Amino acid sequence: MKDNMLPVSFCAYCGAPLCGRSDKKYCNSYCKNHYHNKMVTTHQYGKKLLKSLDCNYSILSSLVKLGISSIPIQEIQELGFKPGSCTEVIFKASTIRYRCYDIEYGVSSGRMYGIKLTSLAQAQP
Ligand SMILES: [Zn+2]
């Protein structure tokens, strides 16, 4: 179903069909305000998350370059690493591995270990 095929448009916030002016985007000011707030929050959250992922990635890649595969969490946090920001969580047997783009690591007893580039990176020049 394509919106542009229909004679009516839909509210950008609640999805209700809109009648009247074709440039109308929302049912009312309630929907308009909530839509705006939602977008701002989502955008800010996304920006923040990307920033911490970028930061984590640059820390991890410097460790990999230095040949460091294990570091106390406290130490890496002091460098600005945010443990909650990763791009993937992998459950392997009884362990949990985390991934930040193409760098994988595990966390155990206050340490990050097994920090390594995965095959994804090896394919790149
Ligand atoms: Zn609405």
Q: How far is the CA of 13 from the centre of ligand 1 (A)?
A: 5
Distance CA 58, CA 102 (A): 12
Q: Per-residue pLDDT averaged across 88-109, rounded?
A: 92
pTM of the model: 0.68
Distance CA 75, CA 62 (A): 14
Q: How far is the CA of 32 from the centre of ligand 1 (A)?
A: 7
CA-atom Rg of the chain in angstroms: 22
Q: How far is the CA of 9 from the centre of ligand 1 (A)?
A: 11
Cα-based angle 29, 34, 35 (whole degrees, multiple of 5):
95
Q: How far is the CA of 113 from the centre of ligand 1 (A)?
A: 49
Q: How far is the CA of 78 from the centre of ligand 1 (A)?
A: 46
Q: Per-residue pLDDT averaged across 93-109, rounded?
A: 92
Tokens (6 digits) for 104: 């994988």
Q: How many CB atoms are located within 10 Å of the residue 54 CB? A: 13
Q: How far is the CA of 48 from the centre of ligand 1 (A)?
A: 28
Q: How far is the CA of 36 from the centre of ligand 1 (A)?
A: 12
* Strand partners for 107: 112
Q: Name the residue type at position 70.
A: S
pLDDT in tens, 34-64: 999 999 998 898 898 899 999 999 999 999 9
pLDDT in tens, 70-81: 999 999 999 999
Q: How far is the CA of 25 from the centre of ligand 1 (A)?
A: 8
Query: Do the Cβ atoms of 88 and 124 come closer than 8 Å?
Result: no
Q: Show Cβ contacts of residue 106 under 8 Å, excluding neighbours closer than 6 positions.
A: 95, 96, 97, 98, 112, 113, 114
Q: Per-residue pLDDT averaged across 7-19, rounded?
A: 85
| Residue 8 pLDDT > 90 | no
